[in-house]
Amino acid sequence: MLTTEVPRPPAVLLDTFFDPSNDLTGLSLYTGDDNALMPTPRSLDESRPYVTLTFAQSLDAKIAGKGGKQLILSGSESMAMTHWMRRMHDAIMVGIGTALNDDPQLNTRRLPPLPAEHSHKYHLPRPVVLDTNLRLSSNCKLLKNYKAGNGRRPWIVTIAPRTDIGWWNNRRTVLEEAGVQIIEVESNDGQVHIPALLRKLRELGVRSLMVEGGARVIQSFFNESQAKVFDSVIVTVAPTFVGEDGVGYGANISGGSVQNLKHVQSALFGRDIVVVLESKEV
Ligand SMILES: NC(=O)C1=CN([C@@H]2O[C@H](COP(=O)(O)OP(=O)(O)OC[C@H]3O[C@@H](n4cnc5c(N)ncnc54)[C@H](OP(=O)(O)O)[C@@H]3O)[C@@H](O)[C@H]2O)C=CC1
Ligand SMILES: Nc1nc(O)c(N)c(N[C@@H]2O[C@H](COP(=O)(O)O)[C@@H](O)[C@H]2O)n1
């Protein structure tokens, strides 16, 4: 039977996201249907997705090296845990800073192999990029994977054009022809308005969203004061120091949202500690 054949996600994730009664295995395989949903973390709010804020950091709270150099902070065990988490969300989001710097794939390729007789793949989350200036490269891995049938169509969330409509329309056409779906939401000071973004994603059927960063996006979620915008925070802490030249996310955190976080569990994955916090009801 499928439920015994498919490898199970780590207990810490099942505990965090699902009711104990929820049997999710066997349901979350990718059949090639770009619109198919997956079992999804319990949602407390029907007006927006369940939001998991997650990233890997060093002991000195850096998420990247000097000048934004991408660092592999997670060891293989916690990296696999992150890929399990990716499988458990309808969508996965990064800012354009990360998309340009890292050219990420945001897929689930580090999971244990499925039994040979399976014709399907692990479920893949919808990649979403916050990009107010339509800077995403039409040659990025997200688009290559989509075209090769190894990823869902990427969505860009942007705001209304502010200047040079001709340039904007041209850029929009280039990206759409490359396979991107472009979604406009309201702006907040020239950036995507986070509560409006979440409402829009929910309207489009996204019931769970994993926010992977980078630094500015993490700050925006932590600092959002108009509404509650995340439900859980899952941080991988790697036993390493990056030093003061690295990229941090904590310097400007001031919102009440961080004070409302409650520790749920810490678990060891190889040499890394994964810390799970939940946002308390306010
Ligand atoms: N260790 C880890 O787990 C991770 C590390 N990283 C690292 O993070 C670094 C990238 O971080 P960073 O440069 O801060 O870029 P981000 O990925 O946070 O993207 C920020 C950009 O997104 C756009 N954006 C649109 N709306 C918003 C909004 N509401 N809030 C925030 N940003 C918005 C803006 O660009 P515009 O105005 O042009 O739209 C903004 O400059 C990389 O070095 C990467 O390696 C990234 C993810 C995870
Ligand atoms: N969990 C985790 N650990 C690290 O050490 C990382 N550097 C990241 N980075 C995030 O993962 C993206 C890369 O994803 P792919 O491997 O290309 O699928 C990167 O862009 C960050 O969002 N995460």
Q: What is the ipTM of this complex?
A: 0.99
Q: Which residue has the higher pLDDT, 131 or 41?
A: 131
- At residue 92's C-alpha, the angle toward residues 218 and 41, to 5°, is 100
> Which whole-number Å values give the CA distances from 230 to 62, 137, 189, in the listed order?
21, 28, 21
Query: Under CATH, to which class is 11-110+120-279 assigned?
Result: alpha beta
How much is the average pLDDT of 211-234?
Answer: 95
177 vs 265: CA distance, rounded Å: 44
What DSSP string describes the chain?
A: -HHHHSPPPPHHHHHHHS-TT---TTT-EE-S-TT-----PPPS-TTS-EEEEEEEE-TT-EEE-GGG-----S-HHHHHHHHHHHHTSSEEEEEHHHHHHH----S-TTSPPPPTT--SEE--PEEEEE-TT----TTSHHHHHHHTTSSPPPEEEE----S-HHHHHHHHHHHHHHT-EEEE--EETTEE-HHHHHHHHHHTT--EEEEEE-HHHHHHHHH--SS---SEEEEEE-S----TTSEES-TT--SHHHHTEEEEEEEEETTEEEEEEEEPP-
Say what the pLDDT of residue 37 is: 61
Cβ neighbours for 116, distance < 8 A, ≥ 6 positions apart: none
As to burial, measured by CB atoms within 10 angstroms (0-12 exposed, 13-18 middle, 19+ buried), residue 82 is: buried
Dihedral Cα 106, 94, 171, 100, nearest 10 deg: -80
Taking CA atoms only, the protein residue closest to ligand 1 atom 15 is 97
Residues with CB under 6 A from ligand 1: 55-56, 63-64, 68, 70, 73, 94-98, 101-102, 130-133, 135, 191-192, 194, 212-217, 220, 247
Say what the pLDDT of residue 26 is: 43
Looking at the CA of residue 57, tell me the nearest atom of ligand 1.
Answer: 1
Report if pTM > 0.90: yes
Say what the pLDDT of residue 118 is: 73
Say what the pLDDT of residue 1 is: 43
How much is the average pLDDT of 77-82?
Answer: 97
Say what the pLDDT of residue 2 is: 47
User: Which of 84-88, 115-119, 157-161, 179-183 is the least confident region?
Assistant: 115-119
- pLDDT above 90 covers what percent of the chain? 71
The yes-or-no verdict on residue 13 having pLDDT over 60 is yes
Q: Is 213 in the pocket of ligand 2 (CB under 6 A)?
A: yes
Taking CA atoms only, the protein residue closest to ligand 1 atom 43 is 68
Say what the pLDDT of residue 156 is: 98
Taking CA atoms only, the protein residue closest to ligand 2 atom 2 is 56
Say what the pLDDT of residue 253 is: 85
In the reported structure, the alpha carbon of residue 56 is separated from the centroid of ligand 2 by a whole-number distance in angstroms of 8
35 vs 270: CA distance, rounded Å: 35
Phi and psi at 33, nearest 5°, equal -80, 110
